[in-house]
Amino acid sequence: MTRYLLRRTLHALIALFLATVMVFIGIRALPGDPAIALAGEEALNPEMIEAIRQRYGLDQPPPVQYWRWIGQAVQGDFGRSIRTGLPVSALIVSRIPITIQLTMLSLLVAVTIGMPAGVISAVRRGKPADYLANGFGLAGLSIPNFVLGMALIITLTVDRNWFPSSGYTSFAVDPVDNLMRMVLPAITLGTSMSAIIMRQMRSSMLDALTADYVRTARSKGLSEWSVIGSHALRNSLITVTTVIGLQLAGLLSGAVITEQIFLIPGFGKLLLDSVFQRDYPVLQGVVVIAAVAYVSINLLVDITYSLLNPRIRVSGTGV
Amino acid sequence: MAVDPSARVDPGSLEPRVAVPGKGRSRRAQVWRRFRRNKTALVGLTCVVLFVLAALFAPVLAPFTYNQNFFEAVLAPPGGEHLMGTDDLGRDIYSRVLHGARVSMQAAVMATVLAMVVSLPLGLVAGYYRGAIDSVIMRLVDALLAFPFIILAIALAAILGPSLMNVTIALGVGSVPSLIRIIRGEVLGLREEDYVDGAIASGATDVSVLSRHIVPNLMNTLLVQATVMIPGNIIGEATLSYLGLGVQLPRPSWGVMLNAAQQNLSSGPWMLVFPGAAICIATLAFNLFGDGVRDVLDPKTHR
Amino acid sequence: MTATGQAADTASTTQTRLQVDDLSVRFHTDDGDICAVDGLSFDLGAREVLALVGESGCGKSVTATAILGLLPDAAEMTSGRIVLDGTDLAGLSRSQLRALRGSKIGMVFQEPMTSLNPVFTVGRQIGEVLTRHLGHRKRQAREVAVELLDRVGIPAPRQRISEYPHQLSGGMRQRVMIAMAIACNPSVLIADEPTTALDVTIQAGILDIMRSLRSDLGTSIILITHDLGVVADIADRVVIMYAGRKIEQAPVEQLFSQPQHPYTMGLLGAVPRPGMAAMMHGADRRLAEIPGRVPVMTAPASDCSFHPRCPRAADRCRSLRPELEGRGHDHRVACFYPGEEGGAQ
C-alpha cells in the first residue's frame, strides 16, 4: 500500500516535471520574440531589448533558462504580467477561490442529480424512470457547456430577469447576490458532469445488482432497501467516487468556458484573457498551476480509491 | 404441455429443438442483428448518416452561399425565404448551419483519425515491448495528461494560431495520451493470450504478431473509442471556435455562429437556437450510435 | 404424476420439511425461451440429506434459486408449488418470504470467491443475518458470529471476524458462507456445489460440518452436486436430473447398487459402490464422461431428452417421453428400458 502510493507520487512528480518542460518549450514556441513582448510597445530600440534579454536571462541557453524559471516558480514567483505589471502569483491566488466556489457548487449540482438518478435508473431498469434518466444522461452529455449556458441566459435572464445574466460579486461583499449569480453557471457546469455520474452510477449499480454477493444478501432475507442501499451501493460507490474525482479535475476545463460565458473573473477567465492578450508570463503560470492542480486531484482520487476499497487498503495488492 | 404431434411421426424433425442459440450464424450478421434491435441506436445511426450527407452535400443543399449578405434582411426571423432566419450580417442561417456541418464533421473525424494514427504505434510499442520504452512513453503520456483536455487544446491552439487545421491538430493531440493508455492496456492483456504466446514461440516476427494477432483484436476497442471521441471532438471544435481559437471568419463553424449569437441574444435568439440545436443533435446522434456500438461489441457493459 | 401420490411416498417414513411439486422454470432470452426446469417434484424429510445430481446445465441451481424465490429477472416460474413446513410459499407476501430466507431456509452458493461482499467484513456479513431475523444488537450479533465461525471450524474466529473476504482462503470463505446460512438454525439448508471449488481435504471438512449440522441441529439439507463421491459420502436419497427433468430417484445405497437409468449408470461408471466411493477421494470422483452434452431445451420434452446420448435408444425413446415409474421401494425411474438388462418392459 505505502509502496504503491510512493510509486504513484513519484510518477506524478515526474509527470509534473515533464509537463513544466513542455510548457516552457511551448511558450517559447509561441509566435513573436518574448523579449519584444516583454518590452511592450513603448520601448522598441535594440538596446532596450538587449537589456531586457539580459535581465530576464533570455540570452542564456534554454536549459539554464528553464532551471532559473522553475527555481523561481517553486518559490511561488511566476514573474509579472506584461499587461498589468502585477505579480502572476498574486493574480492566480486572487482568482482561484472564485473558480473553487464555482466548481464546488457545480459538483453539488452534479452529485445531487446524478447519483440518485443513476441508482433509480438501475433499480428500475427498463421502466419509464430508467428511460427518463437515460434520456437526461444522453442530453447532458450531448449539450455543450456554452450552448446550455447561453440557453439558460436567454430563457431565464434576458426576458424574465430571474437571475442576473452575468458578472460576479464577491461572497464577502454580498452573499445573496454572489449565490444568485452563481446559480446558472453552476447548473451550466454541473449538468454534463451529472450526466456522466448518472451513467457511471447506473452501470456500476447494474453490475452490482447482478453480482453473486447481492444474491447472497437476498438469500439472507435482507430487505431490498438494505440489499440495494447497502450491499450494492457501497460497491458501486468505489468506482463512482473515482469517476467523480476524475471529473472534478475535468470541471477545471469546463470552468474555463463557463467563466467566459458568464464573465466570472476566475482562473479560467484569467487563462483565456492571457491567451488573447498574449500575456505569456500569466499564461505560463496559469497552465503550470492548472497542471499541478489536475495532477494533485488525480493523485488524491487514487489515494481515496485505495482507501475505499478494502482489497487494496488492507492487503496492498495494488491496481 | 402438449406433446408435439409431428414428433410421433418423424423423429428426425426433433433435431432443431436442441439447437444451441446463436450457433451457425456469422459473427458479423449477429452483431448487426443485435444492433438492429436497439431502436435508439438505429435512430442515432440515421441521424449520423443524415449529418454526414449534409456535410458532404452542403454546397448543393444550401440555398445560398455561407457568405452572402442580405443587407435588406438583417436579423430576419425564421420563415419565408430564410428558413432559419438571418444573422446580424444578413447571412442565411440555414446555409451556414449546413456548411457548419462540413467544418464540424471535418474537424471531428480528422482529429479522431489523427489521434488514432499517433496513438496506435506508440500504444502498441509500449504494451508489446514493455520495459524501458514503455516507461518512457508512459511518463510522457502522464505529462500530457497533466493538462486538462480543453486547457491543453486551448494552449495548443494558442501556440499554433487559429485555423481549422490547427483546431484539428489541437483536438487530435489532446486525446492522444488517454488513447495511448487504453491501447497499451489492451495490448498488455492480449500479449498474455495463449495464441500470441504460441505465435511468438513458433518464431513469428514481431511485425507479424502485431499485425496478425494484436491489431485485429484491437479493432473493437478502437471503434468504440472512435464513437466516444467523435462527439467529444464535435463539441471541442465548437468550443474552440466559440472562444475564437478555431475556425476563422468567414467560414461558418457552429461555434463561431454561437459566438456571434451571444452578442445578439435578445434581438435574434434564432441565431442561438439553430446552430445550438445542430451541435446538440449531431452530438446526441453520435452518442446514441456509440452506445449502440458499445452494447453490441462489449456485452459486458450495461448501458 | 400427482402431487399427493408423490408426497405419500416418503411422508410415511419421515416428516416432510420441504415439498417441491411440479416445478417448471423458463428463461426468456434474446434467442427465445429456454425450458430450464420441467415438472420437477421432490420432497425433503426432517434430518434428511437429499442430493440433486446432474451435469451442469441440467437445472439444479435454477431449482435452488426457485425454492428461495430468487430467480433472475429473465426467469419465470411457469408452474409449481413449494411448501415449506406446511406453508405454501406462493401464498406469502414478499416481506413474509424475505422473513423466511436466511431464517428458515439457508443457502450456500457455489462460488465462495464472489458470493461474499468484498467491501464488508466477515463479521458484518454474518451479523446482518442475526440483526435482521433475531433482532440481535450489534455487539450481541458479533459474539454470536464469533461462535458461528468457531462452529464451522475457523481458527482464531475473534480475529477473523474483522477481516475482509479477500483475506480468507477459498475454504475459509465457504465456511463463512455456511456460518451465514446456518446463523438462524434454518430447518432447510440448500448447498449448491459447496465443495466444487475446493481441494479435497477442505472438501472433507465442509462435509463434516454438514454432517454435524444434521446430527446436532436436525437440519435438512439439499445438496446440489455433480460429485458422486460427495453423494456417496453424505446423502440419504438422490434425485438425478437431466435436461430439467427428474429421471431417477432412489435411496443412496439402492441407487449405487442398482441404478436403473442408463444415464445414471453412465454417471456411476467410475464409482460403482458407495463404500468404494468413499475411498476414492480425490481420484476420479467426477461424473464419468458420457459423450455429448446436456441439450438446451427450448420447449418441454416430447421424447426422452437423453436419447441422442443413450446406448439403448430405440424408436420409442425418440418419439415418446418416458414418465417416472416405480422400480422397488422409493425407487423411481423415467426410462423405457431400465435396469441391468434394459429390456424388462
Per domain, the residue ranges of chain C are: 3-104+184-275+288-333, 112-183
From chain B, the residues in CB contact with C29 under 8 A are: 21
Identify from A127, A130, A216 which residue to disrupt to test chain C contact, counting C C-beta atoms within 10 A and taking the largest count. Answer: A216
DSSP string covering chain A: -HHHHHHHHHHHHHHHHHHHHHHHHHHHHSSS-HHHHHHTTT--SHHHHHHHHHHTTTTS-HHHHHHHHHHHHHTT---B-TTT--BHHHHHHHHHHHHHHHHHHHHHHHHHHHHHHHHHHHHTTTSHHHHHHHHHHHHHHHS-HHHHHHHHHIIIIITT-SS--S----TTT-HHHHHHHHHHHHHHHHHHHHHHHHHHHHHHHHHHHTSHHHHHHHHTT--HHHIIIIIIHHHHHHHHHHHHHHHHHHHHHHHHHHHHHHT--SHHHHHHHHHHTT-HHHHHHHHHHHHHHHHHHHHHHHHHHHHH-HHHHTT----
From chain A, the residues in CB contact with B243 under 8 A are: 257, 260, 272
Residue A92: band (very low, low, confident or very high) from pLDDT cuts 50, 70, 90 = very high
Q: Is a pLDDT exceeding 60 seen at residue B198?
A: yes
Q: Is a pLDDT exceeding 60 seen at residue A317?
A: no
Contact A221 C167 (CB under 8 A): no
Residue A88: band (very low, low, confident or very high) from pLDDT cuts 50, 70, 90 = very high
In tens, the pLDDT along A33-43 reads: 666 666 655 55
Find the CB nearest A15 among B139, B280, B302.
B139
CB pairs under 8 A between B and C: 39
Q: Is a pLDDT exceeding 90 seen at residue C251?
A: yes
Measured between CA atoms, the residue of chain B closest to residue A278 is: B158
How far is it between the farthest Cα atoms of chain A?
A: 86
From chain A, the residues in CB contact with C164 under 8 A are: 310-311, 314
A202 touches chain B (CB under 8 A): yes
Find the CB nearest B147 among A12, A19, A141.
A19
From chain B, the residues in CB contact with A291 under 8 A are: 146-147
CB pairs under 8 A between A and C: 83
B139 touches chain A (CB under 8 A): yes
Residue A16: band (very low, low, confident or very high) from pLDDT cuts 50, 70, 90 = very high
Measured between CA atoms, the residue of chain C closest to residue B37 is: C30
Domain boundaries, chain A: 2-73, 88-308
Instruction: Identify which of B174, B234, B236 has the alpha carbon closest to the alpha carbon of residue B48.
Output: B234
B182 touches chain A (CB under 8 A): no
Instruction: Identify which of C192, C190, C206 has the alpha carbon closest to the alpha carbon of residue C105.
Output: C190
Interface list for chain A against chain C, based on CB atoms closer than 8 Å: 210-223, 226, 231, 234-235, 238, 309-311, 314-315
In tens, the pLDDT along B62-107 reads: 787 777 777 777 777 787 777 787 777 778 888 889 999 999 999 9
Q: Is a pLDDT exceeding 70 seen at residue B13?
A: no
| Helix/strand/coil for C251 | strand
Find the CB nearest B243 among A30, A272, A283.
A272
pLDDT at position C1, please?
41
Domain A88-308 has CATH 3.50.50.60: no
Instruction: Identify which of C18, C21, C17 has the alpha carbon closest to the alpha carbon of residue C3.
Output: C21
From chain B, the residues in CB contact with A21 under 8 A are: 143
- Residue B114 CB: number of other CB atoms within 10 A? 18
Q: How far, in Å, CA of B120 to CA of B116, rounded?
A: 6
Mean pLDDT rounded to a whole number for chain C: 84
pLDDT at position A41, please?
56
Residue A184: band (very low, low, confident or very high) from pLDDT cuts 50, 70, 90 = very high
pLDDT at position B191, please?
87
Find the CB nearest C132 among A220, A311, A315.
A220
**Nine-digit cell at C203?**
472438501
Measured between CA atoms, the residue of chain B closest to residue C305 is: B18
Chain B: give the shortest CA distance to residue A204, in Å: 8
Interface list for chain B against chain C, based on CB atoms closer than 8 Å: 1, 3-4, 7-8, 11, 14, 17-22, 34, 37
Contact A213 C99 (CB under 8 A): no
Place of cell 418392459: C345
Q: Partners for A (CB, 8 Å, 3+ pairs)?
A: B, C
Chain B: give the shortest CA distance to residue C317, in Å: 9
Chain A: give the shortest CA distance to residue B12, in Å: 40
Q: Is a pLDDT exceeding 50 seen at residue C279?
A: no
In tens, the pLDDT along C44-74 reads: 999 999 999 988 878 888 999 999 998 888 8
Place of cell 400427482: C2
In tens, the pLDDT along C115-171 reads: 999 999 999 999 999 999 999 999 999 999 999 999 888 999 999 999 999 899 888
Cα dihedral A243, A248, A251, A255 in deg (nearest 10): 170
Q: Partners for B (CB, 8 Å, 3+ pairs)?
A: A, C
In tens, the pLDDT along A228-273 reads: 999 999 989 888 888 888 788 778 888 999 999 999 999 999 999 9
Contact C319 B1 (CB under 8 A): no
Chain B: give the shortest CA distance to residue C336, in Å: 16
Identify from B6, B9, B10, B14 which residue to disrupt to test chain C contact, counting C C-beta atoms within 10 A and taking the largest count. Answer: B14
User: Is the bond leading into B250 cis (omega within 30 degrees of zero)?
Assistant: yes
A257 touches chain B (CB under 8 A): yes
Residue C277: band (very low, low, confident or very high) from pLDDT cuts 50, 70, 90 = very low
Cα dihedral A164, A168, A172, A175 in deg (nearest 10): 20
Q: How far, in Å, CA of C13 to CA of A279, rounded?
A: 95
Mean pLDDT rounded to a whole number for chain A: 86
Partners of residue C21 on adjacent β-strands: C81
In tens, the pLDDT along C4-52 reads: 444 444 444 458 899 999 999 999 887 788 899 999 999 999 999 999 9
* Strand order, beta sheet including C237-242: C105-108, C188-192, C220-225, C49-53, C237-242, C245-251, C332-333, C325-326
Place of cell 458479423: B28
Q: How far, in Å, CA of B73 to CA of C58, rounded?
A: 76
Q: Is C230:C223 a contact under the CB 8 Å cutoff?
A: yes
pLDDT at position C268, please?
82
Contact A219 C99 (CB under 8 A): no
Q: Which CATH number fits domain B36-70+82-302: 3.30.413.10, 3.30.470.20, 1.10.3720.10, 2.60.120.10?
A: 1.10.3720.10
C115 touches chain A (CB under 8 A): yes
**Nine-digit cell at C148?**
458461528
B280 touches chain A (CB under 8 A): yes
- B109, containing H or E segment: helix B93-129
pLDDT at position C282, please?
39
Domain boundaries, chain B: 36-70+82-302
Say which range, A49-58, B31-40, C76-85, C128-137, has the weakest mean pLDDT.
A49-58
From chain A, the residues in CB contact with B151 under 8 A are: 252-253, 256, 271, 287, 290
CATH code, residues C3-104+184-275+288-333: 3.40.50.300
Measured between CA atoms, the residue of chain B closest to residue C321 is: B3
Contact C319 B22 (CB under 8 A): no
Q: Is a pLDDT exceeding 60 seen at residue B22?
A: no
**Can you state the angle between helices B39-56 and B270-297, rounded to 10 degrees?**
130
In tens, the pLDDT along C106-115 reads: 999 888 788 9
Beta-sheet pairing, C188-192 with C220-225:
parallel
C74 touches chain B (CB under 8 A): no
Amino acid identity, residue C252? Answer: V
Measured between CA atoms, the residue of chain A closest to residue B275 is: A147
